[in-house]
Amino acid sequence: MYLQLALRNLSRTRVRSALAVIGIIIGVTAITSIGIFGENLKKTVMESFGDIANEVIVLPNSQEGFSFIDERTVELIRKSPYPAAVIPVKADSFEMTYKNQKRFVTVYGLDERGVNELFDVAEGTSDLKPGKTIVGSQIAESLDLRIGSRITVDGKVYRVSGILEEQGARFDIRPDNAIIISERDHKADIFAVIVKLENLGDIEGFKSYVQATINIKDKKVEILEMKSILDRIEEAFGQINLFLMAIAGVSLLVAGVSILNIMLMSTIERTKEIGIMRAIGAQKPDILKIFLMEAGILGISGSTVGSILSIAGGYFVTKLIIGEVSEILSMETVLFAVEGFVFGVGTAVISGLYPAWRAANLEPIEALRYE
């Protein structure tokens, strides 16, 4: 019955109510679709990092004067109780020549297993016997390198056995503009050991193992965790998203103000009615309930339409900017829609609170006398 009363009061000022609902729809759609877009953007970026979350990079602690990682340390890492691929990496830069073209390139020293763990080969094989080289995609393109091409690096001749696929974003090794030779051909020291743990949960354990075995006397090595870097990136995305949503939230705020406004008008117009109801026995909470219900109805109807629209809106914005959407109704999308709904209804009810409170606290006799 209260619901009916509220509904009828709203339909009495149909245009006004519709405008308020439109305000809520816009607000909810704005924050929710931006939220969904941001989430999709984050997902796309995180996916481009591939599965490096389980990587830990052991680096020499330069602050303590260590500039490379010795064999013994590599041995200790290999002996860790946590199942992992251990990939020592050597690096240096050299002049390289191919058909009279000269370049300075980064030269990595790896073994075959390391290449297979870290990269995908686009052409040729991952053969890294001494005298062979695998080249990055960009350098292959700019120098027009083929399988079997002979290149000279630091006075020695290597034959190209493979060309890598273009690699996504990485933090440790950037092979696109580099070449890879066998670590046995590479005279430099090991500058990093990449440890790909089989289980994500072993990261902490591995770290304490390193502290307990390698860093006992001197702090010889530092550990860079891909996971914590990725976590931080993800967090940053989350914050940016929140910020964008807050900006979109301004439109919801405006919708809230418009509800506040129409509800206030409504309480003033209905002062006499409120007086009548109080005279025939309505308690303050009854009046409060009627007005809050009106605000709630505006909020619920606007938010329902808004969150449905924003699922579509989020999809289109994502499609427009990122180009592809993995799924329309993912867990996160629905979560954002629900969040938008809750915010919409919350805004409406909070905006209705003051007018409803005012209506409930009118002096019955004064309200009754109002014309």
Partner 1 sequence: MKTVVFENVSKIYRTRYYQVSALKDINLEIRRGEFIAIMGPSGSGKSTMLNLIGCLDRPTEGEIYIKGTPISGLRDDELTDLRRNTIGFVFQQFNLIPTLSALENIELPMIFRGTDSGERRKRARKLLEIVGLEDVADRKPVEMSGGQQQRVAIARALANSPEILLCDEPTGNLDSKTGEQVMEILAGLRDEGVTVVLVTHDESLRRYAERVVRLRDGRIVDVSAVSS
| Residues at the site binding partner 1, with contacts judged by CB under 8 A | 1-2, 5, 8-9, 12, 272-273, 276-284, 286, 364-365, 368
Task: Tell me how far CA of residue 236 lies from CA of 39, 223, 230, in angstroms.
Answer: 12, 22, 10
Q: Output 282 or 317, the one with its CB closest to partner 1.
A: 282
What is the rounded CA–CA span in Å between residue 329 and residue 66? 51
Q: Output 5 or 244, the one with its CB closest to partner 1.
A: 5
Tell me the DSSP string of 230-278: HHHHHHHHHHHHHHHHHHHHHHHHHHHHHHHHHHHHHHHHTHHHHHHHH
Cβ of residue 4: shortest distance to partner 1, in angstroms? Answer: 8
Cβ of residue 364: shortest distance to partner 1, in angstroms? Answer: 5
Q: Output 179 or 360, the one with its CB closest to partner 1.
A: 360
Cβ of residue 9: shortest distance to partner 1, in angstroms? Answer: 6
Burial label, 44 (beta-carbon count in 10 A; 0-12, 13-18, 19+): middle
Q: Output 144 or 366, the one with its CB closest to partner 1.
A: 366
Cβ of residue 285: shortest distance to partner 1, in angstroms? Answer: 9
Q: 52 near 225, Cβ under 8 Å?
A: no
Cβ of residue 11: shortest distance to partner 1, in angstroms? Answer: 8
Q: Output 182 or 271, the one with its CB closest to partner 1.
A: 271
What is the rounded CA–CA span in Å between residue 339 and residue 31? 9
Give the largest Cα separation in the chain, rounded: 104
Cβ of residue 282: shortest distance to partner 1, in angstroms? Answer: 5
What is the rounded CA–CA span in Å between residue 109 and residue 206? 24
Q: 307 near 32, Cβ under 8 Å?
A: yes
Task: Work out whether strand 190-197 and strand 221-225 pair parallel, antiparallel, or are unpaired.
Answer: unpaired
Q: Output 65 or 281, the one with its CB closest to partner 1.
A: 281
